[in-house]
Homo-oligomer: A and B are copies of this chain.
């Protein structure tokens, strides 16, 4: 492995000059710069970023801790994070947590600080017991909190939008195929569903609610139960598009037409949802933007801390979702 020393010798300069030529932190005469560059070229020198990090006390690395990539939201958010990070000159260290409950979260966190990551994006609804205070962190998929920097989406508003749309289409008995209530987003959407019904003077009865696990499989199963219990429903709000797929399938099997007999609205706006049968009306959750915003916010915090301004004030950013109207929620025949 070839080092600054070799380059310095080859270019007939000192190691300090090589460093200066490379980082431009101090001026170097154009002529020697050329010579250094030539030497670097000749020797195929690759600076050791680890050594530099040791001095700079920063690694230009961000860690992202997230859950199962099969959830569309998590996967898209990761895309946004990676894009934002590489645009800002940071690398991304990826940690996928399959079973948060069985995972030693504090140990993970200390492994991250050992690797001297500059910041962490915590995209997992489970929180680590205690957070290293000096490490800049952004939390996703979580309610706003005064002590934490959070980038989040107004899921409740999304549910309200979807419900108002269904009401406007003449629907009156609207079921809810939700995800598990252990998820904050699921609780928020349920509140939105409930509030809208109550405001409209309609019953938000518990018998209208079932809970899946976000999978298409569970959507199908839970929809069967809902249909058996409340055959009178004329619409369903579904926690995500994947469950929406299962709901559509079960509805067909039950001999009901969508949207004539039953309207369906999902969440996520996956690319596939436009090609379901019929095309699914859905709430776009702007996952990629969330990821990008999270990185930008995090990098701001890192820079601030590095300028010596100490830990910055927690910040909350809340995005509004967008309703995408397609065939599955057209007015009843």
Identify the A interface with B (CB < 8 A).
1, 46-51, 53-54, 57, 59, 61, 68-70, 75-76, 78-79, 82-83, 86, 91-96, 98, 110, 113-116, 215-217, 219-220, 242, 245-246, 248-249, 252, 271-272, 274-277
Please give, as numbers and ranges, the residues of chain B lying within 8 Å of A69 by CB-CB distance: 69, 75-76, 78-79
Q: Which of B46, B61, B86, B242 contacts A114 (CB 8 A)?
A: B46
A69 to B115, CA, bound (A): 26
Please give, as numbers and ranges, the residues of chain B lying within 8 Å of A50 by CB-CB distance: 50, 53-54, 59, 115-116
A57 to B1, CA, bound (A): 10
Contact A274 B83, beta carbon cutoff 8 Å: no
A57 to B95, CA, bound (A): 23
Q: How far is the CB of A295 from chain B (nearest CB, A)?
A: 13
Q: Which of B82, B114, B245 contacts A95 (CB 8 A)?
A: B82
Q: Which secondary structure dominates chain A's binding surface?
A: helix
Contact A93 B93, beta carbon cutoff 8 Å: yes
Please give, as numbers and ranges, the residues of chain B lying within 8 Å of A86 by CB-CB distance: 95-96
A327 to B242, CA, bound (A): 19
Q: Which of B68, B79, B246 contacts A96 (CB 8 A)?
A: B79
Q: How far is the CB of A135 from chain B (nearest CB, A)?
A: 10
Q: How far is the CB of A312 from chain B (nearest CB, A)?
A: 19
Contact A216 B275, beta carbon cutoff 8 Å: yes
Please give, as numbers and ranges, the residues of chain B lying within 8 Å of A113 by CB-CB distance: 46
Q: Which of B48, B92, B110, B115 contacts A94 (CB 8 A)?
A: B92
Which 10 pairs of residues, A with B, have the shortest CB-CB distance?
Answer: A216-B275, A82-B96, A94-B94, A49-B114, A92-B94, A49-B115, A246-B275, A216-B272, A46-B113, A245-B275
